[in-house]
A and B are shown apart, each in its own frame.
Chain A
């Protein structure tokens, strides 16, 4: 039996356990995806306590909905969609939905101090890039994270964020351009932003 088939079998068995309401399997499910759900909540601007509430609601909705999960989308995509819906619902309920506008209020750039180009490849890259992403409008940030970090396709992102694929392409294009500006300002012109 090939590794791929074995993994699929394992995955199917795990899904079967999840659907049957097995608590141990669901604990594994939470462990596997909790970071992702918290990331979704915080990306949309929820504070720690709010993010925990929404994450709990997300997993509860997933627990109830797993029986209906047909496997058409990846499990992670399905859960991202639930988390996104829950977080947006929370913001709407608390009249903070306007925080999700897709335009930047102002461009906050890093310090103009020049640093060597090598810095972009260093251990600090992650932190600096993350700080740059944090400055993006929330919907752009969400699209950038889903695309680059989670490796989702544009169709999947559109499905998660319940919008058109062209809108996602615009978010990604504009987010990428803004990130280039921010990182170029942080590292000086030495940063390689090659296409």
Chain B
């Protein structure tokens, strides 16, 4: 007897032939009903995805607002430093570039917790907005 096959005799041949001749009854319109159900499920899935994208976008906007308020209240110095490091005009940009970079590094080092949270929130907002725009384009 092999690993995957049993010994095959006359009885087995007869049984095999007999079982292969059996026809299992299936409802006549099963395929059509199944296809309609699949289309319905697909439509529901697309709708659910759109709703989720809208909710994420809304959550992103709310989070942005809350994050702005919280950062202004909890880290006022850091927020001021960040805004001060942004060049006042394009003419000044070149002159303060090196100085600005070193200042930015210093600011990040001293307030890394703030920047980590800020980066996370910013990433989420970018994702939510991109999702919103892509959903509208679909």
Spell out A's residues near B (CB within 8 Å): 21, 23, 26-27, 30-31, 34-36, 38-39, 42, 52, 55-56, 59-60, 63, 120-121, 125-126, 128-130, 133, 144-145, 147-149, 153-156, 165, 169, 172-173, 176, 179-180, 192-195
Contacts and interface: CB of A to CB of B under 8 A. Distances in A.
Nearest to A154: B4
Closest 6 A/B residue pairs (Cβ): A129-B18, A126-B21, A153-B4, A149-B19, A195-B9, A39-B24
A55 B37 CA distance: 12
25 contacts: A26-B38, A27-B31, A30-B34, A35-B26, A52-B27, A56-B34, A56-B37, A60-B38, A63-B38, A120-B14, A121-B14, A125-B14, A126-B19, A130-B19, A144-B15, A144-B19, A148-B19, A148-B20, A156-B4, A165-B4, A179-B15, A192-B10, A192-B11, A193-B11, A195-B11
B117 to A, nearest CB: 37
B39 interface: yes
B31 A38 contact: no
Contacts of A144: 15, 19
Given A23-B35, A55-B30, 11 more contacts: A34-B30, A38-B26, A56-B34, A56-B37, A60-B41, A125-B17, A126-B22, A128-B18, A129-B15, A169-B6, A176-B11
B25 A38 contact: yes
Contacts of A169: 6
A148 B5 contact: no
A129 B14 contact: yes
A154 B30 contact: no
Contacts of A26: 35, 38
Contact of B35 (A27, A133, A173, A180): A27
B14 to A, nearest CB: 6
A42 B18 contact: no
Interface string B11-55: 110111111111111110011011101110110000000000000
Contacts of A176: 6, 11-12, 15
A152 to B, nearest CB: 9
B58 to A, nearest CB: 28
B21 A35 contact: no
B75 to A, nearest CB: 46
B137 interface: no
A154 B38 contact: no
Contacts of B39: 23
A147 B19 CA distance: 10
Contacts of A149: 16, 19-20, 22
Nearest to B7: A195
